[in-house]
Amino acid sequence: MKKQATGVDAFAPFQQALAQGWDKALTSLQSIGANGAAPSFDLPKLSFAPDKLQSLQEQYLAEAGELWKAGMTPTTASSDRRFAGEAWGSNPVSSFTAAVYLLNGRTLLNMVEAVEADAKTKSRLRFAVEQWMAASSPSNSLAFNAEAQKRAIDTQGESIARGLKNLLDDVKRGHLSMTDETAFEVGRNVATTEGAVVFENELFQLLEYKPLTPKVCERPFLLVPPCINKFYILDLQPENSLIRYAVEQGHRVFVISWRNPDESLRDTTWDQYIEDAAIKAIHLVQEIGGSKQINTLGFCVGGTILSTALAVLAARGEKPAASVTLLTTLLDFTDTGILDIFIDEAMVKFREMQMGSGGLLDGGELASTFSFLRPNDLVWNYVVGNYLKGETPPPFDLLYWNCDATNLPGPFYVWYLRNTYHENKLKVPGALTVCGEKIDLGAIDAPVYIYGSREDHIVPIGGAYASTQLLKGKKRFVMGASGHIAGVINPPAKKKRSHWIREDGKLPASQADWLTGAQEHPGSWWTDWAQWLKGHAGKQIAAPKAYGKGSAYKASEPAPGRYVKAKAKAPVAA
């Protein structure tokens, strides 16, 4: 007589698939985007709690039995938006396939929770399963996608022809289109706030913007955007431009426009970005603006760069910042969210070996990595729409910017990777030497406005909040709704989303404790920030009639300048 399968035995195929997928996925994670062989490392062995597997087996068999009973009869619309369309419910083969897929996906994710392993291993395994699930969805296949099939029938095959054309066009571009890229041009209808380039070196151009008020604040305002993206996320279009908003508030605004690195910058280090870019820009704005102190803002990695520069200057006895604004910025890298799954000693060592002595991290690789953090929204959604349904994605300025990738110098990247994400040394006073100085973030003597986005998957809200515990100046923390970009780019006129403020000013050890005493306010956080910044901007003076200062710093070309228009190109092999 054949022995009845136990829960563990019945799930053996699932366990084998999970383990094999884990091996492949973790290998991919360790060497994501790498050229050449990955470093050797030991993969952890997976073990499962038998009682949890037994319970999962019973649940799976019960749900599978219900599916088989229903057979190929039409079903109600799925709660999963990939299968929610009417065409899915009226196509029995597609709806049954979707139901089986969702059942298997739930089971695999539940099996991840049954794995007996440390938290990081489980997070990596969960990520691998989610990636596999996103890629293997029946909605990604014309053979099962009922909506794509209906579209092909209704258009007499024209949608398929358009889909093939879209695919060929994207192959030529070298990336998946998320928007109609022909609808935008930098300097024409994005990055259009009027200004001029008043300085440049090999790392950046300094832009100054034309005042929109007869008087301006005496302390000029410098914005440091992330160098892993183009600065014009802060200046998309007039109605959602943070740069224009600051100009309208009466500030004399300067912005760093990073150069998109090519092979000539393959040896550039973190120290050079701090000394020759951030610190140089601070000193330039002081000189051009004629003010000993300036207001400063850093966004994402730009905030990390700005804070490091201010710490270096503090070690030299300089206190140039009248205020510091940090938007979705990590200084304490304890909580890095999903990005933590990519980082360990083997991965960092491999990157150091690959490009630590020179090279470029390809901007396309970086963009793909961030997109696959949300694969259904930022990858497969466009595969289905562009190729299976033959749709042209609508014009969207934010997604145009998102596709405008930038390279990174290898030595800069690996220093940042090891000393922040991996070893978290930036938060430790004296642990790092930058530009010849032992740095201490606590030495930055300036009031600080710290903003974090509640649903941010790149800088988790807890990671953004952690800066309140490191910086010693008077601090104000504000939480906004939405994610890393949409939470920041939220102009008041749109009257969208909410933000949270704790009026008693208390900053307890954790963001969760802070939230218990915070009040929700409808609309944008920009108005609160503008009022705060006004208090640190000094008196009103006559607006300058010309860009720059004298013959040393005069307008050389109109904003947004040529650096921001350079496209990322794949690096040449060393």
Q: Are 255 and 323 in contact (CB under 8 A)?
A: no
Both tokens of residue 476? 């104000």
Q: Which residues of 258-293 are buried (b: 16+ CB within 10 A; e: fewer)?
A: bbbbeeebbebbbbbbbbbbbbbbbebbbebbebeb
pLDDT at 570: 45
Torsion angle defined by CA atoms of residues 419, 316, 286 and 260, in that order, rounded to the nearest 10 degrees: -30
DSSP 469-504: GT--S-EEEEEESS-TTTTTS--GGG--SEEEE-TT
Residue 520 φ/ψ, nearest 5 degrees: -85, 135
Distance CA 512, CA 434 (A): 33
Q: Are 243 and 271 in contact (CB under 8 A)?
A: no
The position carrying tokens 């259904």 is 376
pLDDT tens, position by position, 473-515? 999 999 999 999 999 999 999 999 999 999 999 999 999 999 9
> What's 186's DSSP letter?
B
Over residues 369-377, mean pLDDT: 87
Which of the residue ranges 43-57, 147-161, 295-309, 317-331 would you say has the lowest mean pLDDT?
A: 43-57
Which of the residue ranges 28-42, 163-177, 425-439 would you say has the lowest mean pLDDT?
A: 28-42
Measure Cα distances from 376 to 139, 371, 382, 395 in Å: 11, 9, 9, 20
pLDDT range class, residue 43, cuts 50, 70, 90? low
403 is catalytic: no
> What's 43's DSSP letter?
P
Both tokens of residue 310? 């201010």
pLDDT at 569: 66
Residue 471 φ/ψ, nearest 5 degrees: -85, 140
Both tokens of residue 254? 């300067």
The continuous run of DSSP H or E covering 299 comes out as strand 294-299
In the chain, what are the domain boundaries?
Answer: 7-154, 195-338+409-565
The continuous run of DSSP H or E covering 438 comes out as strand 437-438
Over residues 527-556, mean pLDDT: 96
pTM of the predicted model as reported, rounded to 2 decimal places: 0.89
By the 10 Å C-beta count (0-12 exposed, 13-18 middle, 19+ buried), 156 is classed as: exposed
pLDDT tens, position by position, 109-153? 999 988 888 888 888 899 999 999 999 999 999 999 999 999 999
Torsion angle defined by CA atoms of residues 273, 342, 423 and 409, in that order, rounded to the nearest 10 degrees: -20
What mean pLDDT value characterizes the chain? Answer: 89
Distance CA 376, CA 369 (A): 13
Closest to 25 measured CA to CA, from 136, 106, 102: 136
Q: Does domain 195-338+409-565 have CATH number 3.40.50.1820?
A: yes
Choose the catalytic residue: 217, 227, 300, 435.
300
Both tokens of residue 255? 């912005």
Over residues 342-346, mean pLDDT: 91
User: With 60 as the cut, is the pLDDT of residue 41 above it?
Assistant: no
Question: How many other CB atoms are there within 10 angstroms of residue 436's CB atom?
Answer: 10
pLDDT tens, position by position, 322-340? 999 999 999 999 999 988 9
